[in-house]
């Protein structure tokens, strides 16, 4: 070997002479420096890192590029900072090589410390080209890498990161529910990043995920859209009013309410009120509400069922099968014969009507219908049978004075027959303003209520009585 000639790279490489190759890195001839860096690349010797890093400041772009390639081949935590710095090299070829090194090599480095450090470094330089590789890293197996990638995306502020971050946050929520273990830090970081990224400019990005199969994802999207609160969120939120998840439908409706949204069609209006479980308002939207109300009935609780039935009863809809819903509709419409015709299915709606029908006469009718089905209703009457009979007499038409007098006579006779009144002792009936008998007055002018003919509500130790014909409260 000539003593002062250039180093023989091929020979050094063949001997795997790292020391010799490292020494050749500082040889004056750039071609040799490049060849030495290329030869060192596959050897991945830790001692070569420092000298190769020093070459990143070499005057010759070819040398810098070779150094980037060699460091990239080595990978690992120590090469992260220098390679990320080379992304800003003045030479386009060096920059391109550094891009591949950082985004392809380091972001998938087997060493999680390298992946994490790369993510952190990319967050600092805020390079838009880093967005895609960082998005991949938000699902990294290592929590530290996920956190660093999320924070880097937050700092870069690119809208492309919105949906991946939503998915990450949802993923942690699902994991929490499924295993009881999740990374609260990752979830919080994703949420904070979304706080920064989700402005009016992110509406389209969020809308793109509105059909995502994961309900947690859809829910986060709806919350975010609602929070943005600009008019542009109306379209995606409207679309969610028919989501298969009731919680999401409700969030969407609230979001729409917050922006002062007005329904664009009666169907959307019906979906909106249904989402808020305002069933009567839903019915006010007209026939478009019918399928929504019918579909909601089975899963609804008792108070909601009452409202759904009341809403449907106001719409021109006739049930096809005599099921519970049908019985409820017929009860709400006072079609008691039809209700009883529904048999078993009528028991639930009738039991409800006995206690909650708005008019006392309907409560009495429901109680009678239940008795007709062999049930013993716990009706809010002292004597539902007598009350029903009195109501039947009272409701016979009395268009003129003569008929009214006949009706009064019939009620007197009925009360006497039932032992509620003793005309022979000078007792007489006192009538409600509506004409229904409510009290008995004796010869001394003392009155006592005809409780057997009244509706009653027991409130602790107090009992309130109601005229079942006009629903007014009568003093006991």
Residues that bind Zn ion (CB under 5 A): 432, 434, 436, 467, 469-470
Q: How many CB atoms lie within 10 A of CB 91?
A: 15
Note every long-range contact of 293-298, with CB atoms under 8 Å and residues 24 or more positions apart, other chains counting.
Answer: 294/325, 297/324, 297/325, 298/325
Would you say 103 or 466 has its CB closer to Zn ion? Answer: 466
Min. distance of Cβ 445 from Zn ion in angstroms?
Answer: 21
Q: How many helices (H) and strands (E) does the chain have?
A: 26, 6
Min. distance of Cβ 433 from Zn ion in angstroms?
Answer: 6
Min. distance of Cβ 464 from Zn ion in angstroms?
Answer: 14
> How many whole angstroms separate alpha carbon 364 and alpha carbon 446?
29
3-state secondary structure of 211: coil
Min. distance of Cβ 434 from Zn ion in angstroms?
Answer: 3
Cα 17 to chain centroid, rounded: 64
Would you say 113 or 430 has its CB closer to Zn ion? Answer: 430
Would you say 158 or 430 has its CB closer to Zn ion? Answer: 430
Structure token digits, residue 271: 């979906």
Min. distance of Cβ 408 from Zn ion in angstroms?
Answer: 14
Would you say 2 or 397 has its CB closer to Zn ion? Answer: 397
Min. distance of Cβ 361 from Zn ion in angstroms?
Answer: 10
Would you say 75 or 380 has its CB closer to Zn ion? Answer: 380
Strand ordering across the sheet containing 447-449: 428-431, 437-441, 447-449
Q: How far is CA 391 from CA 50, 216, 363, 453, 474, in A?
A: 103, 56, 12, 9, 16
> How many whole angstroms separate alpha carbon 314 and alpha carbon 283?
8
Sign of CA dihedral 27, 32, 33, 35: negative
Would you say 163 or 469 has its CB closer to Zn ion? Answer: 469
Min. distance of Cβ 443 from Zn ion in angstroms?
Answer: 25
3-state secondary structure of 322: coil
Min. distance of Cβ 428 from Zn ion in angstroms?
Answer: 17
> How many whole angstroms separate alpha carbon 20 and alpha carbon 353?
98
Would you say 87 or 432 has its CB closer to Zn ion? Answer: 432
Q: Are 431 and 472 in contact (CB under 8 A)?
A: no
Would you say 170 or 453 has its CB closer to Zn ion? Answer: 453
Q: Nearest CA to 309 among 276, 267, 350, 253?
A: 350
Min. distance of Cβ 407 from Zn ion in angstroms?
Answer: 14
Task: Name the packing angle between helices 246-258 and 266-275 (round to 10°).
Answer: 110
Q: Nearest CA to 194 among 217, 211, 169, 171?
A: 169
Would you say 297 or 465 has its CB closer to Zn ion? Answer: 465
Min. distance of Cβ 391 from Zn ion in angstroms?
Answer: 11
Would you say 51 or 455 has its CB closer to Zn ion? Answer: 455
């Amino acid at each position: 070997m000539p003593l002062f000639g250039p180093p023989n790279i091929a020979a050094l490489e063949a001997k795997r002479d790292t020391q010799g190759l490292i020494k050749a890195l500082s040889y004056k001839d750039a071609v040799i420096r490049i060849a030495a860096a290329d030869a060192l690349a596959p050897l991945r010797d830790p001692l070569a890192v420092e000298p190769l890093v020093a070459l990143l400041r070499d005057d010759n772009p070819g040398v810098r590029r070779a150094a980037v390639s060699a460091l990239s081949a080595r990978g690992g935590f120590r090469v992260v900072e220098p390679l990320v710095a080379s992304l800003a090299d003045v030479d386009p070829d060096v920059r391109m090589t550094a891009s591949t090194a950082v985004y392809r090599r380091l972001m998938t480095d087997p060493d999680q410390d390298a992946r994490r450090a790369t993510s952190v470094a990319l967050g600092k330089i805020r390079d838009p080209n880093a967005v895609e590789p960082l998005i991949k890293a938000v699902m990294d197996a290592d929590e530290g890498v996920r956190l660093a990638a999320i924070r880097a995306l937050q700092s870069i502020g690119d809208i492309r990161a919105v949906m991946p971050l939503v998915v990450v946050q949802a993923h942690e929520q699902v994991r929490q529910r499924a295993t009881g273990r999740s990374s609260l830090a990752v979830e919080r970081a994703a949420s904070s990043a979304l706080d920064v990224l989700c402005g009016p400019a992110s509406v389209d990005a969020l809308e793109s995920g509105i059909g995502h199969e994961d309900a947690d994802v859809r829910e986060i999207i709806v919350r975010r859209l609602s929070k943005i609160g600009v008019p542009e969120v109306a379209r995606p939120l409207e679309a969610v009013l028919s989501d298969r998840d009731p919680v999401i439908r409700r969030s969407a409706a609230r979001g729409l309410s917050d922006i002062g949204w007005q329904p664009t069609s009666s169907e959307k209006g019906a979906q909106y009120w249904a989402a808020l479980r305002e069933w009567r308002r839903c019915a006010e939207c007209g026939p478009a509400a019918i399928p929504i109300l019918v579909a909601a009935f089975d899963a609804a609780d008792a108070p909601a069922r009452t409202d759904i039935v009341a809403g449907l009863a106001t719409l021109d809809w006739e049930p096809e099968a005599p099921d519970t819903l049908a019985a409820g509709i017929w009860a709400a419409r006072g079609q008691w014969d039809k209700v009883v015709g529904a048999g078993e299915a009528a028991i639930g709606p009738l039991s409800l009507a006995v206690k909650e029908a708005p008019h006392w006469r309907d409560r009495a009718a429901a109680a009678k219908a239940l008795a007709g089905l062999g049930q013993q209703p716990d009706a809010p009457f002292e004597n539902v049978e007598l009350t029903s009979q009195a109501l039947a007499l009272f409701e016979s038409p009395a268009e003129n004075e003569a008929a009214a007098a006949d009706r009064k006579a019939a009620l007197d006779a009925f009360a006497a027959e039932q032992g509620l009144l003793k005309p022979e002792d000078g007792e007489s009936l006192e009538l409600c303003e509506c004409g229904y008998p409510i009290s008995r007055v004796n010869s001394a002018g003392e009155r006592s209520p005809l409780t057997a003919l009244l509706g009653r509500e027991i409130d602790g130790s107090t009992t309130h009585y109601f005229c079942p014909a006009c629903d007014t409260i009568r003093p006991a």
